[in-house]
Amino acid sequence: MLIRISLIVVIVAALAAGVLNFVVVKDKITTLTTDRNTQRDGWTATKGELDKTQKTLAKTQGDLKQAQSELADANSARKTAEATATAQTKRADELNDKLAKTTQERDAAQNDLAAYKNTDLTPEQVVKLTSSLKDANDAIAVANGEKAVLIRANARLNSQLAKLIGTENYVVKLRADLKGKVLVVDPKWDFVVLNIGEDQGVLQDGELLVSRDGKLVAKVVVRTIEKDRCIANIVSGWKLGDVFEGDEVSPAHPAT
């Protein structure tokens, strides 16, 4: 009997120990599972932040490359404009020298002709002198035409160069004596067509004041230039009244 009781006690103790061990092990498993899940969630979050950081870095590197490319293009355009402006200036100086020389030759021919009229020159000699004078005048006219073209081209290049290397407040200056009129008005899109263009010295982005009877009506900025006309947009905030055909325009920033 005692043996049976002892055996029962041992069995009960073993069961109690097993239950206790199960509870302890279960708690440990639960703790380990929680730790594992926490670490997994932390790793997932860290990986997400890393991916996001890598994408941001890649975008930043792309933007930097684009900015460097745009800067290189701007520097190249500036150098090209500077070289062209230098060449045009040199050509203008050469034409000035040529014009001065041709003018001297014309004056000399005129003086010779005036002097020879009081001499016993033959008609053939007078015709030859007259022909020489005409050739000199023609050469001067050609030189003056080329000079005017070069002056306009030089002004356009100087304006482009100033925009490339200038500040945000830079304004295009137009000839102080530039005058024109409005040919066409589009009130829907707020643009006008003017009767002045490249031949008259109009420059891209140049600003003109529109007036009628001496009163300011609006300000326009040139967007498209042709040989003898241009298209300009009415500047927002500067429309003080309706613009009509025949209104006069003059430079908002005349060159000194």
Is residue 34 located within the same domain as residue 135?
yes
C-alpha span between 130 and 141 (Å, rounded): 17
Residue 149: per-residue pLDDT: 63
Is residue 201 located within the same domain as residue 156?
no
Of residues 158 and 48, the one with the higher pLDDT is 48
175 within some domain: no
256 within some domain: no
Residue 213: Cβ within 10 Å count: 7
Structure tokens at 216: 């300011």
Give 137: exposed, middle or buried? Use CB within 10 Å, 0-12, 13-18, 19+.
Answer: middle
Q: What percent of the chain has pLDDT over 90?
A: 26
Is residue 135 located within the same domain as residue 43?
yes
Residue 191: per-residue pLDDT: 94
What's the structural domain count of the chain?
2
Residue 160: per-residue pLDDT: 60
Question: Which of 145, 170, 195 marks a domain boundary?
Answer: 170
Q: Which domain holds residue 123?
A: 1-170
106 within some domain: yes
Confidence label for 82 from pLDDT (cuts 50, 70 and 90): confident
Is residue 196 located within the same domain as residue 241?
yes
Is residue 154 located within the same domain as residue 236?
no
Q: Can you give the pTM of this predicted structure?
A: 0.43
Q: Is 190 left (phi over 0), alpha (psi -120 to 50) or beta?
A: left
Please tell me the total number of residues recorded for the chain in this structure. Answer: 256
Is residue 71 located within the same domain as residue 155?
yes
Of residues 1 and 63, the one with the higher pLDDT is 63
154 within some domain: yes
Of residues 33 and 200, the one with the higher pLDDT is 200
Provide the total of helices (H) and of strands (E) in the chain, helices listed first. 2, 6
pLDDT digits (tens, 9 = 90+) for 36-71: 777 777 777 777 777 787 888 778 788 778 878 887
Residue 161, SS3? Answer: helix
Contacts of 99 (CB under 8 A, 6+ apart): 140, 143, 144, 147
C-alpha span between 152 and 156 (Å, rounded): 6
Does 221 have pLDDT greater than 60?
A: yes
Contacts of 211 (CB under 8 A, 6+ apart): 217, 247, 248, 249, 250
Is residue 100 located within the same domain as residue 195?
no
